[in-house]
Chain A
Amino acid sequence: MSRNFTPEQTLIDKLLVDDAAAFEELCRRYCFSLFNYCMTKLHSKEDATRIVRNIFISLWEDRHMLPVDFSLSLHLYTEVRKAVIQCLNNKLNRDRDTLRIGEEIIPGFSAIELRKAKLPVQLSANNRLNIQDRSGLKSYEEQWWNKYTPSINLKDLTHVFKNMLNAW
């Protein structure tokens, strides 16, 4: 849980001058969400703790080499993704973990589960379209040619006329 409202960029600037308190604040802001992510992927508290700890330690070690347009959240999530896949590969190479991986992790690779990766974007897009189109749909139903000839719309009629003109 974050303890203060200092902007992230200020904390990163302080990190460059070896401010351990600013670093601790950054750790506290991100560590649980990173831990939670690792837990959902690897189902192991030890691995999740180790990955998050190592990411923050490497951030501290490389603090003087951060690029100018450094985005901490982007950096942390890129690193955690890399670490998760590396950890999974290491686990798969060990025989004792394969059974647990088969039960807990492999179902996540099924097509239905993977579809969830795109679900929030699709849902939000659909919802947005529905909200926008509701008024448009009503007016479409209210138009007299759609009211009296529901099976034929204006687009079909123009298509028929075009075909007739071409034939003529």
Chain B
Amino acid sequence: MTTEVLRKKTGRYLCGESVPAEKKQIQNWLSCTGEKDNSISPEERAMIENEIVGQVQAYVASSLFIPKAEPWWKKITAFF
């Protein structure tokens, strides 16, 4: 398979226009989890975890301090 063919296949898959064989191929690829990388040390793992959680926490904290304005439909549903 070439990158061009794969690009077309993924494009069709995302648009929901892929044929069943393509869909199955992509879903099988997504389901292949046998090749897990066990070379990551616990320290490295903790570092990655902290990095991701730190980024998410920063967003969560900012959203808690500066909450978004409620959309009009939420206000109306709360009223009823």
Contacts and interface: CB of A to CB of B under 8 A. Distances in A.
Interface string A45-76: 00001001100110011000000000000000
B1 interface: yes
- Interface of A (DSSP majority class): helix
Contacts of A141: none
A156 interface: no
Interface string B9-30: 0110110000000000110111
Contact of A20 (B13, B31, B40, B61): B61
Q: Size band of the B side of the interface? A: 35 or more
17 contacts: A18-B64, A20-B61, A20-B64, A23-B60, A35-B48, A36-B40, A40-B35, A53-B52, A53-B56, A57-B56, A61-B63, A88-B6, A89-B10, A108-B29, A109-B1, A109-B29, A114-B29
Interface of B: 1-3, 6-7, 10-11, 13-14, 25-26, 28-37, 40, 45-46, 48-49, 51-53, 55-57, 59-61, 63-64
